A and B are shown apart, each in its own frame.
Chain A
Amino acid sequence: MAATQKRRHAADAALTAVFSMISLAYVFPLAMVLMNSFKRKAYISRAPFALPSGSMFVGLDNYRNGIRLTDFWASMLWSLVITVLSVALILLCTSMCAWYISRVRNRVTHGIYLLCVFSMVVPFQMVMFTLSKVANVLGLNTPWTIPVIYLGFGAGLAVFLFTGYMKACPIAIEESATIDGCSPLRTFFSIVLPILQPTLISTGILQAMWIWNDYLLPYLVLDLKRFKTIPIAVQYLRGGYGSVDMGAMMGMLVLAIAPILLFYFLCQRYIVSGVMAGAVKG
């Protein structure tokens, strides 16, 4: 027994070592971008692994340039506005909708459910042209109104996740509340919503990841002359007629990634468990 114990210890130590190496390899690309963001742009392609020393070092020039070229802070603001508003709207509306269709069972609600499931698999390219048209006609082309589009296109997954969770929830508490004279609205907000909390968090995180990183939808729908999101700003750097300013690009990549990592490390537990929950339900 002691021998196997020992062997197991040795194996674990070896695994720790191997995984440390792999983890380093995983983090390496990020470190490299960070390093190159301080390098004069002409040297990024020539000496990608060199430390930004001597004449290669440009301090924060790349950041300054990139921010100026892309209007980065504004993009970040709009990304935040769009993500926060959309996720809030999606969570509120779809959880209500999901409760309704899982408690009121008839052909219509079943139809809605099936359509939601169907919409989950339809690729965006199918609706990209017509959706951007519709959005324009209805004035859904600002960060304040685009959440309606996200609610529409993201409803499928959210409704699916919520109904999945609600099917497993006991209906008894809700019924007793109704008998006590609670209106459905009151029942929903004081009883159902708290029960839904884990799914709210996991759905919220999945939707936030999607919306924050989404490129094509806002690119086609948003009024670009006033609003850009971070992915649009980054892709826009492939500009300057005939060039990609790699220095500014590196700086903007760092600025685009930093807040995500911060967010990740702050609420890692929720994100990981959110993904797990989402997957099990999926």
Chain B
Amino acid sequence: MERDLAKYWPVFVLPTVTAFAIGFLVPFAMGLYLSFCDFTTLSNATFVGLGNYVRAFEDSGGFTHALWYTALFAGVSTVLINLFGLTVALLLVRGFRGTNLFRTVFFMPNLIGGIVLGWLWQVILNYGVLARYGVTLVTSEWYGFWGLMAVMLWQQAGYMMIIYISGLQSIPGDVSEAAAIDGASAWQALRYVKLPMLMPSITICTFLTLTNGFKLFDQNLALTGGMPSNRSQLLALNIYDTFYGRAGWEGAGQAKAVVFCLIVVTIALVQLRLTRTREVQQ
């Protein structure tokens, strides 16, 4: 069969590969090359070596600030979203009245897009909550930070909850029973039985929340737009602003994008390595 099929590559593989080349490979390679160039459009690119990378880290660009701000945001949001998602999942699998309804409700915000979410929460937080205390989301970068955190928690906890629930449901019933018969307390059952068996779900969820946190753009744009003084700017928005907001900084913007890409890919690789070793152990 394999040989038969092999001849059919123009039908099976070519469309996807062509589109993949147009939509990803070619732009990626060009982007990599352009990060070493001075350019305003594609046609006038001239090679300048590492200049863009030096410029990318200049103070006025705010890249270093965006870098640690984003790392902090991604880290804290990963912890909070997963804690909340896991707790809710653990409680919901007990199966009390209304479980299905609650699951439906918690997952719902996931379907709403980032721009819409950002605006929705801007109104609620600014007018509904913060105005009472005489502050706004842009009073300092920390209001924006926690505001964004609230948005992400609201949006993503439900998604992680679903993944955890499916993980919990795949734990064989006899394992939990055995633990109960052995006299394990609820906490012990969780710590020594459920959590280890949930490791695959935990890995996936951490990976998803961590990369989502790093790549966040829409919500950031709609909620604070980077105010005040670009200090609530996450990496993705910082790169976008460098590219389209200032004339003559396109090269630095592309260089920032390459650095950004390296960071995200590194995280993914580390994550993959961790998953692999754990799978071997099991």
Contacts and interface: CB of A to CB of B under 8 A. Distances in A.
A116 interface: yes
Contact of B31 (A101, A127, A178, A184): A127
Looking at A125, A134, A184, A231, the one whose CB has the most chain B CB atoms below 10 A away is: A125
Contacts of B19: 93, 148-149, 151-152, 155
A123 B261 contact: yes
A175 interface: yes
Contact of A257 (B9, B116, B211, B243): B116
Contacts of A265: 104
Contacts of A224: none
Interface string B239-282: 11001000000100110111011001100100000000000000
A45 to B, nearest CB: 5
B112 interface: yes
Interface in B165-191: 165-166
A119 B240 CA distance: 20
B162 interface: yes
Contact of A275 (B4, B131, B159, B265): B159
B105 interface: yes
B159 to A, nearest CB: 6
B204 interface: yes
Interface in A109-150: 109, 112, 115-116, 118-119, 121-131, 133-135, 138, 140, 148-150
A213 B117 CA distance: 10
A123 B264 contact: yes
A161 interface: no
Interface stretch (B48-56, B75-83, B120-128, B139-147): B120-128
A185 B94 CA distance: 47
A36 to B, nearest CB: 7
Given A33-B120, A44-B123, A276-B162, A159 B16 contact: yes
B105 A23 contact: yes
A272 B123 contact: no
A282 B23 CA distance: 22
Contacts of B131: 45, 48
Does more than half of chain A's interface fall in helix, strand or loop, or is it mixed?
helix
Contacts of B127: 44-46, 48
Interface in A159-185: 159, 174-175, 178, 183-185
A73 interface: no
Interface in B212-245: 214-215, 217-218, 221-222, 235-236, 239-240, 243
A216 interface: yes
A264 to B, nearest CB: 5
Contacts of A155: 16, 19-20, 23-24
Contact of A184 (B8, B28, B105): B8
B113 interface: yes
Interface residues of A, number: 98
A275 B103 CA distance: 13
B24 A156 contact: yes
Interface in A178-223: 178, 183-185, 188, 209, 212-216
Given A97-B12, A99-B12, A104-B2, A148 B23 contact: yes
A71 interface: no
B128 A49 contact: yes
15 contacts: A15-B91, A19-B98, A23-B105, A122-B24, A123-B236, A124-B236, A125-B239, A138-B22, A149-B23, A153-B23, A153-B24, A209-B111, A213-B218, A216-B218, A235-B115
Interface of A: 12-13, 15-16, 19-20, 22-23, 26-27, 29-30, 32-33, 36, 44-46, 48-49, 93-94, 96-97, 99-101, 103-105, 109, 112, 115-116, 118-119, 121-131, 133-135, 138, 140, 148-156, 159, 174-175, 178, 183-185, 188, 209, 212-216, 230-231, 234-235, 246, 249-250, 253, 256-257, 260-261, 263-265, 268, 271-272, 275-276, 279-280, 282
